[in-house]
Structures are given as C-alpha cells and as structure tokens.
A and B are shown apart, each in its own frame.
Chain A
C-alpha cells in the first residue's frame, strides 16, 4: 500500500481494503467501541434529564456537555475524523465549521436575550429600581 499524504474522512488511517479477516475484526471492533460509548452517553443524557439526580438548573449544562461528548465520539469512531497527521485537512475544515456554529448560536442567543431584556423594561415597569445604573 502506497503512503499518501492525506486521508479522506470516513477512512481509517492504516487499513483500507484487502486486509482479510484481520481488517474486518479491526474495523468491527472500532465501530462496536464507538457504539458502546455512544449508548453510554445517550443513556446518561436520558438519565440526567428524567431523574432528579442533578440539581435542576445544572441539568441543561450537563445535557450540553454530554451532547458535545457524543458528537466527538461519532466524529472519531463513525466518521473517522482523528488528530492523526493525515487528517489535518479534515480537522481544519471542521474547526472552521465549529467556529461558525459557535459564533452563530451563541451570538444569536446572547444578542436576543439582551434585546428581550431591554424591550421588557419598556412596558413592564420594574418593581425595584435598576441596580446597575
């Protein structure tokens, strides 16, 4: 097998094709490990959401953390986006995507929350005078 400088997403670093039984076992093991981790994180998400194991207001934070972790598992084990040197192009494209998603979602939520707050005080007089004036 010739050494290539880059690797497409979806392909594992070492084995590609024609590796016989060894290649199959290796590939299946990787997917099974990914599936097991994804199931564990999914069950944890439902458990946190459906029980009172965590302090109420911290539940959304825990769910976001579990979701991000599971997305990472999916990227590594199912899409084979890794930190290996032959994956640099894919990781850089992903990094740009994550940056845009972060700016878009957090920027929108942040700006709109402030706007709602400011509009609210115009027709709903505050019970107590504003403290940070």
Chain B
C-alpha cells in the first residue's frame, strides 16, 4: 500500500517546493522580467528586419549600373571614427545602467549625456558621408547598389536618431521623477535598444564597409 501512495506524495511535494514561474505555484513572472523579455522579442524582430535589408544589399551590391562601386566611395577613417563612437557610447550606456542600479542621479545623468553625445557624433559623421555622396551625384537614385546601401545604413541611422530622442526623454524622466520602478523598466528597454543598435553596426561596418573595400 505504501509503495503505491509514496510516488503520488512525492510528486505533490515537489510541486509545492517549486516556486519557478510557469509552474503555477510561483505565480506569474515579475514585471521586470516580463518587460525585459517582451522588449527582447521586439529587438529580435528588429534584427530580423535588418537581416532582410542585409540580404537585399548583398544581392544588389554588384549592381552598380556604371556608377561607383563600394571600394570607390567608402572612407575607412570615417568608418573607424563612427565605430569607435558607437562602441564608446554603448560602454557609457552600460556605465549608466550601473549608476541607475545604484540610484546615483549625478552619474546617471553624466553617463547618459556621454552616451548621447557619442551617438550624436556618430550621426553627424554618417550624415556627412551621406551628404558627400548625394552632392557628388551618387545618391540613392544612382544605382541599385546605392539604393540598398542608403536603405540599410540609413535605417540604422534612423534607429540611432530615435534612440537619441528616447535618451533625452529618459534623462528628463530620471530628473523629474527620480528612480521610480516604472522609469527603471523604461531605462532597461532603452539600454537594450542602444546595445542592440551597436550589434547591428558591427554587422554594417564589417560586412558592408570593410568587405566592400576589399571587393
């Protein structure tokens, strides 16, 4: 009799001891986890959208229609500066995350300001490059290669622009409302967004610029 009852008892007790979310006993996951996971799903969908633009660029890169090719228009120094800016910006954003977790207003604002400043410098170099291309008549209408190039790199630039606006509102929210829990959730999403943009830039500078200069 006992041997029949025991397994059922064991199972029951193991359920009672489990407090992991998803098993019923622990209740739903905490809001911080749900927010972070949900935003992570969005970021992955964004990366999938960028991968479609990368695939388009890879197919159209040789279609220069008599116009300039990748190796003729890319400036390695400008790309190096942009890469350095965005990497340093991502690092400053990480420092801001630590400052937020320590509830240090001074260091949060300083780190976020540096993050934004470096992002702005990046954007200026990118706009300078785009302006130079368009001024020479090598705008997005010149060839399929340039259409794909402007779409891919410009889409990343638009994300950076949106990120800078978001960054400004985050600084204002921390300043006006303090380290409230909901503000911290918003900041978590922003920091994930900013780091993810740097990952996309790694793909752009390696696969578009550096590979393009070698073809």
Contact = CB atoms under 8 A, between A and B. Distances in A.
A and B: partners? yes
A38 B89 CA distance: 13
Interface string B121-135: 000000000000000
B36 interface: yes
B66 interface: no
Contacts of A129: none
Given A45-B210, A74-B195, A108-B59, A5 B41 contact: no
B89 to A, nearest CB: 11
Contacts of A108: 55-56, 58-59
Interface stretch (B4-12, B95-103, B153-161, B166-174): B95-103
Nearest to A95: B44
B90 A5 contact: no
A23 B100 CA distance: 12
B203 interface: yes
B199 A75 contact: yes
Of A8, A48, A49, A97, most B-chain CB atoms within 10 Å: A8
A90 B55 contact: no
A79 B211 CA distance: 26
11 contacts: A8-B188, A9-B192, A11-B188, A35-B91, A46-B210, A49-B211, A71-B203, A89-B37, A93-B44, A94-B44, A104-B48
Interface of A: 3-11, 16-17, 23-24, 27-28, 31, 34-35, 38-39, 42, 45-46, 48-50, 56, 59-60, 63-64, 66-67, 70-71, 74-75, 78-79, 89-90, 93-94, 96-97, 100-101, 104-105, 108-109, 112
